[in-house]
Amino acid sequence: MSDVVRRIRAAGIVPVIKLEHAEDARPLGKALLEGGLPVAEVTFRTAAAAGAIRLLREEYPALLVGAGTVLTPAQADAAIAAGAAFAVTPGFNPRVVDHCLAKNLPVVPGVNSPSQVEQGLERGLSLLKFFPAEASGGVKMLKALHGPYAEVSFLPTGGVEPANLASYLALPYVAAVGGSWMVKEDLLASGRHAEVATLCAEAVRLVASLRG
């Protein structure tokens, strides 16, 4: 999983994407790359997820494309068949996480408690999703979790936006943040991909400035 973690850390932001139609992934992939954000997490919140992942992987090989909101082993299998490079889960479901690991699919499970972090450590995972970040206590909770688990990096997602981005990225154990402000559903649904590219570029510049 080290290459996936390296590329996520290099990007600094993982755009969390919901698509109603697989073909909408084509202009989205172009917008992401034009904006300098070479990573995408396509969520399994719609039936279009697998098709969108497959299209992005085939047409934009420079993109690191993962599957988000993976809730079942069947969805993990669909993500693998579509060519997903990694999976992200909202919570820590041992059955789903173990299935991903058994299939050699890098997985970033959601955690917001010490017990869940320890489940990740038990499986040798070095990157965990902190979700829902703001509702779970935000930076203060993340600092508390880091205390006894210094070897873990986190991907805070849920309520992360430009206004609080600096407070998360200031923490060295935050590999990147997950967010949807640059890929909002209304922008994608209305085909405003030029705006998406602009928002991605702004996000990339912001991350670069905050990381120094």
E-strand ranges in the chain read 13-17, 39-43, 64-68, 86-88, 107-108, 110-111, 127-130, 153-156, 177-179
Rounded CA separation 113/136 (Å): 9
pTM above 0.75, yes or no: yes
Q: For 57-105, write each residue's pLDDT tens digit.
A: 999 999 999 999 999 999 999 999 999 999 999 999 999 999 999 999 9
Residue 212: pLDDT band by 50, 70, 90 thresholds? confident
Residues that are catalytic: 41, 129
Give residue-wise pLDDT tens across range 116-137. 999 999 999 999 999 999 999 9
Q: Contact, 115 vs 92, CB < 8 A?
A: no
- Could you tell me the two tokens for 176? 């990147």
Amino acid at 118: E
Distance of CA 175 to the CA centre of its chain: 11
Q: What is the pLDDT of residues 106-116, one digit of tens each?
A: 999 999 999 99
- Nearest CA to 9 among 174, 125, 181, 199? 174
CB atoms within 10 A of CB 30: 15
The fraction of the chain above a pLDDT of 70, given in percent, is 100
* DSSP secondary structure of 153-207: EEEEBSS--TTTHHHHHTSTTB--EEE-TTS-HHHHHTT-HHHHHHHHHHHHHHH
Check: CB of residue 86 under 8 Å from CB of residue 67.
Answer: yes
In terms of phi and psi (left: phi > 0; alpha: psi -120 to 50; beta: otherwise), the region of 177 is beta
- What domains can you pick out in the chain, each with its CATH number? 2-204 (3.20.20.70)
pLDDT of amino acid 2: 83
Give the Cα-Cα-Cα angle 142, 18, 191 (nearest 5 degrees): 130
Task: State how far the Cα of 45 lies from the Cα of 52, in Å rounded to an integer.
Answer: 12
